[in-house]
Copies of this chain bind each other. A is one copy, B any other.
């Protein structure tokens, strides 16, 4: 397990998001490279260690032309940009990234979520709403959950 857990961190007035120390530790110990590529996905931001991102790129490049490939390029690849860490372990997000993720001006509360090989960053309120939706679905699937061992 690489990135794991949820962290309620903040984004400052200039758009810098602090990344949990645990995730930075994973970057330096497992990947030996602190570079993060941040893209937009599903209403939030997804940050990939550069090695992971390059694997993704190779696979996408190998696809033959199709509407799906175009959509991936438009929605996932083009917006991607490297966001370097500052000395306090924060990454500077661009205006466009904040705009996409609902992190304008006065909004400071984010949640940083580990997701195996990537790190997701959400507007905290939005994330809470998504969780609620998910939990509602789970209520209708108690048997399946039981079978899974939950």
Contacts and interface: CB of A to CB of B under 8 A. Distances in A.
Given A78-B113, A80-B4, A55 B149 contact: yes
Interface hub of A8, A59, A71 (most chain B Cβ within 10 A)? A71
When all copies of this chain in the complex are counted, the total is: 2
B96 A8 contact: yes
Nearest to A149: B56
A5 to B, nearest CB: 4
On chain A, which size bracket covers the interface? 35 or more
A135 B115 CA distance: 20
Contacts of A55: 149
A111 B6 CA distance: 23
A113 B97 CA distance: 12
Interface string A119-150: 00000000000110111011001001101111
